[in-house]
Amino acid sequence: MPVTLPLELQHRILELALPPLILSRLDERAQLCKTLSLVHRTWTRVAQRELHEHVSCANEASILELTAVLQRLYLFNTIIRDAASIIDEPTFRNLTYLYVRDTGFGSLPADLRLQTLLLCCVGLDFHDKTFFAGLSALRILGLIATVPLPHVADNLPPLLRHLAYYDVDWEESDDGADDDEARLAAFRAAGEKHRPTMAKLAQRLDSCTTNTDSGERRPWSYVLEEEVVRASGRFTVNNEDDFDLEEWAWSLGA
């Protein structure tokens, strides 16, 4: 006779296993999913799906830790040493959510089904215009201290609806102007040169969030804000030093 938990306990386990709004609960959620699959067989398929479709990787140590877990679960014969090789494994072709932090990152496979991609302090070759080309299903993208937005804005996925970015462009500022009026004119000119690109991007976005820990914004960021609002989207300025990409993504239904 199959084991059946009291309904209230089942409800509590499911409630706690729902995607969290804070990063610190990801480990707890994974443990609850595994517990649920052990004590309630009818939910095994759901728990297994949740465990492998939502993955967070922070620096090499966490990637190696994930490798060890996967070797136990799937009997992998090869050692996975970086985020790019993790993505290349067949097990991860059905990933819908990926968060990578504090590491380098290579190219992505063309058939990846990611709907949410969060990159924080990740080294990318932003001159590679094809990096996001294979992410045809991507709806939510977070780029914090990863790549200057103007370099990739023309090549973001067509289904992208929600974007968060770090308000910096890695370009030298023009300090040559002698007075405030000249500096303001130079600032506006710097923004206007990006308007066609930002207007095109804004047409696809339902929401856009900029994060700046210094309180200063770049010319192209103001232009993007104008274009997002003009396209009836929602634009948010976040000045928090500890802006949490995952909390932002979960608030959008990731």
What distance, in Å, lies between the first and last C-alpha atoms of the chain? 37
- Locate the domains of the chain by residue range: 1-54, 58-252
User: What is the bridge-based pairing of β-strands 162-166 and 54-58?
Assistant: unpaired
How would you label 111-144 residue by residue, b for 16+ Cβ within 10 Å and e otherwise?
Answer: ebbbbbbbbbebebebeeeebbebbeebbbbbbb
Please give the pLDDT value at position 25: 55
- Residue 241 neighbours by CB distance under 10 Å: 8
pTM metric for this prediction: 0.64
* The residue type at 3: V
How far out from the chain centre does Cα 240 lie? 17
- Per-residue model confidence (pLDDT) at position 230: 92
3-state SS of 25-62? HHHHHHHHHHHHHHHCHHHHHHHHHHHHHEEEEEHHHH
Strand partners, 209: 164, 236
Mean pLDDT by 10 residues, the chain (254 residues): 63 63 56 61 55 55 61 42 51 74 69 84 68 84 84 88 79 53 67 85 93 78 90 89 83 80
Give pLDDT, residue 82: 46
